């Protein structure tokens, strides 16, 4: 489908409104690396590796329920890996959660702080995702939150979604793209009491961890698009926000109840 056709689809779906003149996305975490800002991406090749669908039973005493990541009872969960490399010239420097408590969820059942709203997980209808992509291409500087608020009809094509906070650290080296030329990228951030992401390092959360899912209980069978976006609310400053998401098509079966 050509971009012009998708833009026409946007209009038919949503009665699209122009992007707001002022954005509500304002970086709270500035660039403090003297080499430059980070440039975060989602490694889309990792999403399908451990993609799985299963029915799980949760009790009210479990951390995921206490922290609002899932409801108690029997739930159908679509699980997946999340990998977010830093391709920028500079590191993402977050630091000690105690120095900036407003950036974190400090009291967690899991026993360590989470950097707020690090990633957004969304499940779209296929037409909704095409329209969403075209709308964002037409409004590259607009905040995603503002675009959805201005276009509630498009928002109804967003079937379900959730935000996930992380303990952001260097997990492994990224070796593709701009990072392929050099194989020696030092790590600096290894613990939750000093968070950040070094140049050409990747933060990685495997599918088996709490929160690495979208709850699809009760959804109709059919084709959907799973989208992962890092720093969707532009909480921290980057060189480029247009490469922050990746997606994969998924087909859901009948009987998700």
- pLDDT of 206-229, one tens digit each? 999 999 999 999 999 999 999 999
Distance between CA atoms of residues 185 and 47, nearest Å:
24
The tokens describing 232, both together, are 């969707």
Q: Report the pLDDT value the prediction gives residue 5, as an integer from 0 to 100.
A: 40
- Over its C-alpha atoms, the chain yields an Rg (Å, rounded) of 18
Q: Report the pLDDT value the prediction gives residue 59, as an integer from 0 to 100.
A: 98
Q: Report the pLDDT value the prediction gives residue 8, as an integer from 0 to 100.
A: 39
Residue 92 has pLDDT above 50, yes or no: yes
Q: Report the pLDDT value the prediction gives residue 1, as an integer from 0 to 100.
A: 38
Regarding predicted confidence, which is higher, 160 or 43? 43
pTM of the full structure: 0.88
Element (H, E) at 65: helix 63-66
Residue 100 has pLDDT above 80, yes or no: yes
DSSP state of 29: B
Per-residue pLDDT of 11-37, as tens digits, reads 444 455 555 445 567 777 888 888 899
Q: Report the pLDDT value the prediction gives residue 2, as an integer from 0 to 100.
A: 40
Q: Answer left, alpha or beta for residue 209, where phi above 0 means left and psi between -120 and 50 means alpha.
A: beta
DSSP state of 179: G
């Amino acid at each position: 489908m050509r971009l012009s056709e998708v833009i026409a689809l946007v209009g038919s779906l949503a009665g699209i409104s122009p992007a707001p003149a002022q954005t509500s996305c304002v970086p709270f975490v500035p660039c403090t690396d003297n080499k430059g800002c980070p440039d975060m991406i989602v490694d889309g090749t990792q999403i399908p590796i451990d993609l799985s669908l299963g029915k799980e039973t949760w009790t009210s005493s479990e951390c995921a329920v206490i922290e609002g990541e899932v409801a108690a009872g029997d739930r159908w969960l679509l699980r997946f890996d999340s990998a977010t490399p830093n391709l920028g010239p500079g590191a993402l420097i977050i630091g000690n959660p105690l120095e900036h408590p407003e950036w974190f969820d400090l009291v967690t059942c899991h026993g360590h702080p989470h950097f707020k709203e690090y990633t957004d997980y969304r499940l779209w209808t296929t037409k909704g995702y095409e329209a969403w992509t075209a709308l964002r291409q037409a409004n590259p500087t607009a905040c995603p939150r503002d675009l959805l608020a201005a276009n509630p009809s498009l928002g109804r094509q967003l079937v379900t979604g959730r935000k996930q906070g992380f303990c952001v650290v260097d997990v492994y080296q990224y070796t593709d793209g701009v990072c392929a030329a050099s194989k020696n990228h030092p790590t600096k951030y290894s613990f939750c009491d000093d968070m950040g992401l070094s140049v050409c390092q990747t933060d990685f959360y495997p599918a088996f961890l709490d929160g690495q899912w979208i709850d699809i209980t009760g959804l109709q069978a059919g084709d959907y698009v799973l989208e992962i976006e890092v720093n969707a609310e532009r909480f921290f400053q980057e060189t480029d926000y247009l490469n922050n998401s990746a997606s994969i098509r998924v087909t859901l079966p009948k009987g998700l109840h």
